[in-house]
A and B are shown apart, each in its own frame.
Chain A
Amino acid sequence: MSKKQSLFARLTNPKYIMVYATIGIFLVIYAAGGMLYGDKGFLTVRTFVNLFIDNAYFGISAVGMTMVLITGGIDLSVGAVASLTGMFIAYGTTILHLHPMTCIFAALVMGVGLGLLMGWVIHYLNVPPFITTLTGMFLARGVCSLISRESIDIHHPMFDALASWKIYLMKFADGKWVRIKPIAFVNFNVILFLVMILIGAFILQRTRFGRNIYAIGGNEQSASLMGLPVGRTKVLVYGFNGLCSVLAGISYALYVKSGWNLSLQGGELEVITCAVIGGTLLTGGVGYMIGTLFGVLLKSVIPALITFNGNLLSWWGKIATGLLLLLFICIQRFVVTSTGRRK
Chain B
Amino acid sequence: MAVKRFDLSGLMQSKVTWAVIAEALILLVCFIIRPDFFSISYQPSTGMLYGSLIDIVNRSAEITIISMGMTLVIALGGTDLSVGALVAVAGAIALKFLRWDVLTYTTPGNYTVYPYILVIAVPLIVCALMGLFNGFLVAKGGIQPIIATLILMVCGRGVAQILTDGKQFTTGYSPFRVIGQGSFLCLPMPIIITIIVVVAVALFTRKTAFGAFVESVGVNPSASRLSGIKAGNVILLVFLITGLLSGIAGLIYSSRIMSNDSNNAGLNFEMDAILAVVIGGTNMAGGRFSLAGTVIGSLIIRTIVTFVYYFGIVAEATMAFKALIIAVVIVLQSEPVRKYFAKRAAMRRAGAKS
Per-position binary interface string of chain B over residues 299-331, scored 1 when its CB falls under 8 Å from any chain A CB and 0 otherwise: 000000000000000101111111110110011
Chain A contacts for B316, CB-based, 8 A: 142, 145-146, 149, 261
Q: Is the CB of B146 within 8 A of A131?
A: no
Q: Is the CB of B274 within 8 A of A131?
A: yes
Q: Is the CB of B143 within 8 A of A322?
A: no
A194 to B201 Cα, complex, angstroms: 51
> Which of chain B's residues 273-287 have a Cβ closer than 8 Å to chain A?
274-275, 278, 284-285
Chain B contacts for A329, CB-based, 8 A: 137, 141, 143, 147-148, 151
A272 to B151 Cα, complex, angstroms: 12
Q: Is the CB of B148 within 8 A of A138?
A: no
Chain A interface, number of residues (Cβ within 8 angstroms) = 45
Q: Check if B26 is an interface residue, CB within 8 A of chain A.
A: no
Q: Is the CB of B323 within 8 A of A322?
A: no
- Indicate the size class of the contact surface on chain B: 35 or more
Which residue of B142, B144, B166, B275 is within 8 Å of A315 (Cβ)? B166
Give the residue name and chain of the B residue nearest to A272 (CB): B150
Given contacts A142-B323, A313-B161, A330-B141, contact A322 B154 (CB under 8 A): yes
15 A–B contacts, CB within 8 A, in A order: A121-B334, A125-B331, A126-B336, A130-B79, A138-B271, A138-B323, A139-B320, A141-B320, A269-B150, A282-B147, A315-B158, A317-B158, A319-B159, A319-B162, A325-B150
Per-position binary interface string of chain B over residues 131-145, scored 1 when its CB falls under 8 Å from any chain A CB and 0 otherwise: 000000100011110
Which residue of A138, A143, A269, A282 is within 8 Å of B326 (Cβ)? A138
Residues of B within 8 A of A (CB): 79, 81, 137, 141-144, 146-148, 150-159, 161-162, 165-166, 271, 274-275, 278, 284-285, 314, 316-324, 326-327, 330-331, 334-337
Known: A126-B334, A135-B326, A325-B147. 6 other contacts (CB 8 A): A128-B285, A139-B323, A315-B161, A316-B162, A318-B154, A318-B158
Which residue of A76, A139, A315, A321 is within 8 Å of B162 (Cβ)? A315
By Cβ-Cβ distance, the 7 closest A-B pairs, closest first, are A142-B320, A322-B155, A142-B319, A318-B158, A145-B316, A139-B323, A138-B323
Chain B contacts for A74, CB-based, 8 A: 146
Given contacts A135-B323, A316-B162, contact A127 B154 (CB under 8 A): no
Chain A contacts for B154, CB-based, 8 A: 269, 273, 318, 321-322, 325
